[in-house]
A and B are shown apart, each in its own frame.
Chain A
């Protein structure tokens, strides 16, 4: 099984449309002030006399009302900003019914796009373990397919993610997230992300990325997208997903080796870690290109509104919880899958099949 980091990387790159899934730094108190020519961020209050500025301005979030009455025993949802400061045009009429009452975990995972995109993510990750056409015998190909299908079942993974998410977010936090995800702009952005995650869009994104070399994005848009990556950590998390897959194969291959030739566990991890730098550089570039494509239909003001939400405490809390849940489940499933795949079809069979077929490039 030689399809290592490159292939994993290719898959990982398909996942970057999950820009809203982030693992931000802990949402503690942040102070901001001007010191000379620079803006200072600190967990400590500013020194006396410093000019305190507001935190990055959060655009108002239009709230879609629905007839549900709020629960009597739960705190009210986060208030929307006054309508007169709205930075986005009035939203179009909602195409789905959005509740105004207390949010549920399923609702947030649905509205954020996590649930709709999960089958695609799972398919892409599962494909990492499948042999290229003709690489293994029919029997072995079927064996591998069965193992992979058993572990990469979207419903099962979703259940794990939801449970993990539930442990990390309380109802108050959930309601705060709902303010954004229920808003027309929030739903519109999620719709863009879902649309861009469809397999048939991938060639368009590739072509768009290639075109950026000759006609780069405007500086203001690039800055917004870079900030989006900064607050969500998308590049980093995409790299982590890629390394999870590559690492699972490396660990399983080491475990399958005869005891006298087995690479020590720590050394395997070190080798996987060595892939990070190269992978991160590639992923970083691709993530920016994909973000530019995905959010292309948005105005700068709309995109800024999105970035500001993601940088806000509810946005950070959502990103951290969702991304951690996804990464955790992928890591666990990846390790189990790789081990079982190599148990079902030992490495020698992959190697001998490859030798017989000649040196074929990994898919």
Chain B
């Protein structure tokens, strides 16, 4: 589930809270310090302040103290879901739905959770059920009003607009792009004949915020099925963010739509070396990976992250990205050999994963295992020729072995490419080093190996 979907959910929750029974509304009494209500409040406050583990612990205490409290159960479900404790979330939501089968807040939560674990049909059913609780006139209007009336309707009701956006996102994640586009047209989210792709490009080059640019490209995907370049950009962006499934769907869609054979080849290669090729990742594994990454990078929760990475790998053993993070955890412990082992497992699981080869090469380089590093990094640039950091690392491995010609060729390629795409500053040090090498011959020190992030779609892990 994307950040956008979560935002949509928050707004939609506000929408259903009005005029329908909600978990919050059912517990109106002022909470006493250690009452379940107080614990739920404390859990929410801890969550809002970024103390996520404490939030989950407090929500557990609340649910333990009041197993028939809907708000406590929903809070526990939400916190557990956020922390990747999916079994716990599943049980909490199930108990909540058993207590209040018609509660729309719980339905939204369940829809959210179902999306996160890849049960898209369940998510759509929950949304339909929520719509079914709205007044008949509104349902009718929402379902059947012509597009020109939908626009003012959604404009008056941001929550309704978000409701539609949520449906569209779920359909996209499900892989039903055609239905997502149909829904977008029916609710006048997109108009026919408008050049959304050009608008998105203008936002991108005009320095729009990341969110604005992302929304613009999303509209291009929905409103201009033939805009292969924009769909391609969107797919790469999603891939960078870690949304392997939706990223793959978009890249495959753009590859199908483009008329350029070169772009088709590029798209196929991207899917092969970046998105697991014939080894698609289960949605639940992807979600666990994304949460584990957050728990590690954002919270410093090494133990929790390691457990979720392991669980992700158990569900999708050929999913390469968690291997890189397991290696990183090993490196944090000063265990370089452990890191090499994890990365070797990663390239065995997915031999086409460019990034895993890249990471393996860099660790071997740091260990001064030059020939092994050379092999891994040669594989890296074979899979992704424009990997500037990989090429510079390969150049260092070659230099260390006295393979001057190879060093020079790899560095010239990397520097030339980086200058072309991103300006001279990105590779200032390697270029300066190469100049000295050309002038004075081999020096005493090995060449620098910056790893600049230069291309969209290749920037993760």
Contacts and interface: CB of A to CB of B under 8 A. Distances in A.
A316 B400 CA distance: 14
Nearest to A316: B444
A327 to B, nearest CB: 12
B330 to A, nearest CB: 8
Contact of B443 (A25, A29, A38, A42): A25
B408 interface: yes
A126 to B, nearest CB: 26
Residue among B333, B403, B405 with the highest chain A CB neighbour number at 10 A = B405
B402 interface: yes
Interface string A217-253: 0000000001100111100110000000000000000
Interface residues of B, number: 27
B444 A264 contact: no
Contacts of B144: none
Across the A-B interface, the 8 shortest Cβ-Cβ residue pairs: A233-B444, A265-B334, A28-B402, A24-B444, A266-B332, A42-B405, A230-B443, A233-B445
Interface of B: 302, 330-335, 399-406, 408, 436-446
B332 A25 contact: no
A92 B341 CA distance: 61
Given A42-B405, A43-B403, A43-B405, A266 B331 contact: yes
A41 to B, nearest CB: 5
Residue among B399, B401, B408, B444 with the highest chain A CB neighbour number at 10 A = B444
Contacts of B400: 25-26
A28 B331 CA distance: 33
A23 interface: yes
Contacts of B438: 38-41
A32 B437 CA distance: 11
B405 A44 contact: yes
A347 B155 CA distance: 63
A41 B334 contact: no
Contacts of A43: 402-406
Given A25-B402, A266-B334, A41 B408 contact: yes
A231 B404 contact: no
A56 interface: yes
Interface string A257-286: 000000011110110000000000000000
A265 B331 CA distance: 8
A24 B442 contact: yes
Contacts of B408: 40-42
B402 A26 contact: yes
A30 interface: yes
Nearest to A22: B444
B444 A41 contact: no
A99 B406 CA distance: 43
B414 to A, nearest CB: 18
A6 B406 CA distance: 38
Contacts of B333: 264-266
A131 interface: no
B444 A30 contact: no
A62 interface: no
Given A25-B399, A266-B331, A269-B334, A30 B445 contact: no
A92 B422 CA distance: 57
Contact of B404 (A41, A226, A264, A320): A41
Given A30-B404, A43-B405, A44-B405, A264 B334 contact: yes
Contacts of B335: 266
A289 interface: no
Nearest to B335: A266
A25 B444 contact: yes
A147 interface: no
B56 to A, nearest CB: 20
A167 to B, nearest CB: 17
A311 interface: yes
Nearest to A21: B444
A269 B336 CA distance: 12
Contacts of A56: 440-441
A319 interface: yes
Given A39-B438, A39-B439, A42-B408, A267 B445 contact: no
A22 B445 CA distance: 9
Given A23-B444, A265-B332, 15 more contacts: A25-B442, A30-B441, A32-B441, A43-B406, A55-B441, A56-B440, A56-B441, A227-B440, A230-B444, A237-B444, A266-B331, A266-B332, A311-B441, A319-B444, A320-B444
Contact of B444 (A39, A232, A265, A270): A232
B342 to A, nearest CB: 13
A43 B403 CA distance: 5
Contacts of B446: 25
B402 to A, nearest CB: 3
A226 B435 CA distance: 13
Contact of B332 (A22, A26, A42, A267): A267
Contacts of A237: 444
Contacts of A233: 443-445
Contacts of B444: 22-25, 230-233, 236-237, 316, 319-320
Interface in A17-67: 22-26, 28-30, 32, 38-44, 55-56
A41 B441 CA distance: 6
Contacts of A22: 444
A32 B440 CA distance: 10
